[in-house]
Amino acid sequence: QQLPVYPPARPIEDINEEALKERERAIKALKEFTEQVTDDNVFARLVIEDPEEFRGRTLAEHMSMLAWSDSLLTKPIEDQLYHGRHMTFCRSRDDKLAI
């Protein structure tokens, strides 16, 4: 007999409606927060001068225009974040990685 991949769902009458509404409010608040544009960060104040093709853009604008859905871009960035030199310093007292 093959075991199910997912645990069985709870019956609908067992769902806490208040908790569900609270989660929906939290998600909507996060969505509204992330859609707000604030120019009070270093990336929005740094203006690119070279190379000429990017001149006049802020670093924030340039980063938002990158193809973040392309794995040729994101995979090397992810590898550097997980295995880069900075990880030498991201260790706890017992010399294990802090992540």
What pLDDT digit, counting tens, does each position of 20-51 carry? Answer: 888 888 887 776 655 555 567 888 889 999 99
pLDDT of residue 32: 65
pLDDT of residue 73: 92
* Contacts of range 82-88, beta carbons closer than 8 Å, 24 or more positions apart: none
3-state secondary structure of 63: helix
Q: Give the mean pLDDT of 11-18.
A: 72
pLDDT in tens, 44-98: 889 999 999 999 999 989 988 999 899 999 999 998 888 877 766 666 666 666 6
Predicted model pTM: 0.44
pLDDT of residue 89: 66
